[in-house]
Amino acid sequence: MLAGVAVGVFATPEDAVKACIKVEAVTVPVKENTEKYEKLFEEYVAVHDALMPIYRAR
Protein backbone atom coordinates (compact mmCIF):
# COMPACT_ATOMS: atom_id res chain seq x y z
CA MET A 1 0.00 0.00 0.00
CA LEU A 2 2.83 2.39 0.80
CA ALA A 3 4.34 1.70 -2.61
CA GLY A 4 0.97 2.61 -4.10
CA VAL A 5 1.06 5.91 -2.23
CA ALA A 6 4.65 6.49 -3.36
CA VAL A 7 3.80 6.05 -7.04
CA GLY A 8 0.52 7.94 -6.90
CA VAL A 9 -1.97 5.06 -7.03
CA PHE A 10 -3.32 6.34 -3.70
CA ALA A 11 -3.24 9.95 -2.54
CA THR A 12 -2.62 9.07 1.11
CA PRO A 13 -1.98 6.03 3.28
CA GLU A 14 -5.52 6.47 4.60
CA ASP A 15 -6.90 6.24 1.06
CA ALA A 16 -4.86 3.08 0.51
CA VAL A 17 -6.29 1.50 3.65
CA LYS A 18 -9.85 2.46 2.69
CA ALA A 19 -9.37 0.89 -0.74
CA CYS A 20 -7.57 -2.28 0.35
CA ILE A 21 -8.78 -3.25 3.81
CA LYS A 22 -12.18 -4.63 4.77
CA VAL A 23 -12.78 -5.25 8.47
CA GLU A 24 -14.95 -8.32 8.82
CA ALA A 25 -14.65 -8.87 12.56
CA VAL A 26 -13.04 -7.41 15.65
CA THR A 27 -11.48 -9.68 18.25
CA VAL A 28 -11.59 -8.42 21.81
CA PRO A 29 -9.41 -10.03 24.48
CA VAL A 30 -11.19 -11.84 27.31
CA LYS A 31 -10.12 -10.17 30.55
CA GLU A 32 -10.21 -13.46 32.44
CA ASN A 33 -7.54 -14.85 30.08
CA THR A 34 -4.97 -12.12 30.77
CA GLU A 35 -2.63 -14.51 32.59
CA LYS A 36 -2.80 -16.99 29.70
CA TYR A 37 -2.14 -14.23 27.15
CA GLU A 38 0.90 -13.05 29.11
CA LYS A 39 2.34 -16.59 29.25
CA LEU A 40 1.77 -17.15 25.55
CA PHE A 41 3.35 -13.80 24.74
CA GLU A 42 6.44 -14.78 26.75
CA GLU A 43 6.67 -17.96 24.66
CA TYR A 44 6.25 -15.95 21.45
CA VAL A 45 9.05 -13.59 22.47
CA ALA A 46 11.33 -16.54 23.26
CA VAL A 47 10.70 -18.10 19.83
CA HIS A 48 11.11 -14.74 18.10
CA ASP A 49 14.40 -14.08 19.86
CA ALA A 50 15.68 -17.60 19.12
CA LEU A 51 14.94 -17.19 15.41
CA MET A 52 16.35 -13.67 15.06
CA PRO A 53 19.89 -14.82 14.17
CA ILE A 54 18.42 -16.84 11.30
CA TYR A 55 16.49 -13.83 10.02
CA ARG A 56 19.53 -11.60 10.24
CA ALA A 57 21.69 -14.12 8.36
CA ARG A 58 19.57 -13.81 5.24
What's the structural domain count of the chain?
A: 1
Over residues 19-51, the pLDDT tens digits come to: 999 999 999 999 999 999 999 999 999 999 999
- How many other C-beta atoms can be found within 10 angstroms of the C-beta atom of residue 35? 8
How far separated are the first and last CA of the chain, in Å rounded?
Answer: 25
Q: What is the mean pLDDT of residues 1-8?
A: 97
* pLDDT at 58 (0 to 100): 80
Domain range for 52: 2-57
